[in-house]
Amino acid sequence: MRLIALLAIVFTCAAPGALAQNYAAREEVRRFIAQMVEQHGFHRGELVTLFSKVRHQSSVLRAVSAPAESAPRSWQVYRSRFVNPGRIAAGVQFYERHAQALERAAKLYGVPEEIIVAIIGVETVYGRNVGGYRVIDALATLAFDYPQRAEYFRGELEQFLLHARQEYIDVLGLKGSYAGAIGIPQFMPGSYRRYAVDFDGDGRRDLSGSVVDALGSVANFLKEHGWQRAQPIAFTARVVGERFRVLLASGIKPVYRGADLASFEVSVEEDVDPEMGVALIELESAGQVPEYRVGLENFYVLTRYNRSSFYAIAVFELATEIASTVAKQRGAAASIR
């Protein structure tokens, strides 16, 4: 079956405000099409037709290349966006609504329920904000009009077309983020193909329409990146002197051992396995003394979802608040009975 018929392409007009541009007429796009034909057996004419309907999105380029905010980097400001009463309350509701699927995912993949919930809470406010760009438009714009990362986004465009063919997706209908991330957990196409799972058993891996698939897929992503079952994530740390800066400079990957912390004048209240991998994380806020965390292997795994240490600690702290609230509510309900 030909690609266009297979994927039910029905949109023919650019989104409002989009800059009309015939990608199919561009030489670099034709080379990309030839690659897809040669390497993956796509039909040339169908891809030409498809790319004639793809539209350049100037707003994607503005979003991806926006200059850094003039305000200094601030952990407290970042944290307040994600770890706040509204997002905690919504997370508790989401947790309880999907408790059965979350419990199943936690048992199968070894990832705590609250971590799965918190990632989805940070990424899309529990599925409420999955993005409004056509994924094909965003990826094509970045693949062919953003030279700084063209190679990466051409790879993701390739993965998206393979994914669409495999999953019978309407290429021109699927919406996502300005970077081409898809669905409730915001997987890039390559991650979608590698780590998404059919967790609801309906024969499809649907991260846009199935919360259950999203839950299982987040857990599978973390497991495949090395999540350690029943192991801690991070500890609050205290530092003195200047030797801690050597540990800090080694980055977020836990390449030192717990036994090394004392030699760097770093301490935590918890007992740390002397052989456990550790990293020191600095959380700076303008005009305030930085906060520090000792990140363990599961902290590093969280940074595989998003390379920011702020992101990983925000997920961890949101998860902690959600789990604590759920436990209190369940305890109160049990006492009433």
Considering Cα of 296, then 299, then 304, then 310, what sign does the dihedral take? negative
51 SS3 class: helix
DSSP H helix total and E strand total for the chain: 15, 7
Considering Cα of 173, then 178, then 180, then 186, what sign does the dihedral take? negative
Provide the angle, in degrees to the nearest 10, between the axes of the packed helices 27-40 and 44-52: 140
- Beta strands 234-239; 266-267: pairing state: antiparallel
DSSP structural state of residue 234: E
Residues acting as catalytic residues: 123
The whole-angstrom separation of Cα 128 and Cα 113 is: 19
The whole-angstrom separation of Cα 314 and Cα 273 is: 24
CA atoms within 13 A on the CB side of 89: 3
| Helical residues (DSSP H) of 8-149, grouped into ranges | 27-40, 44-52, 58-64, 75-82, 85-97, 99-109, 113-124, 135-145
251 SS3 class: coil
- 81 CB contacts (<8 Å, ≥6 apart)? 314
- 272 CB contacts (<8 Å, ≥6 apart)? 235, 258, 261, 278, 294
Q: Count CB-CB contacts under 10 A for residue 176.
A: 26
Q: Residue 171: phi, psi to the nearest 5?
A: -55, -45
**Three-point CA angle 202, 204, 210, nearest 5°:** 75
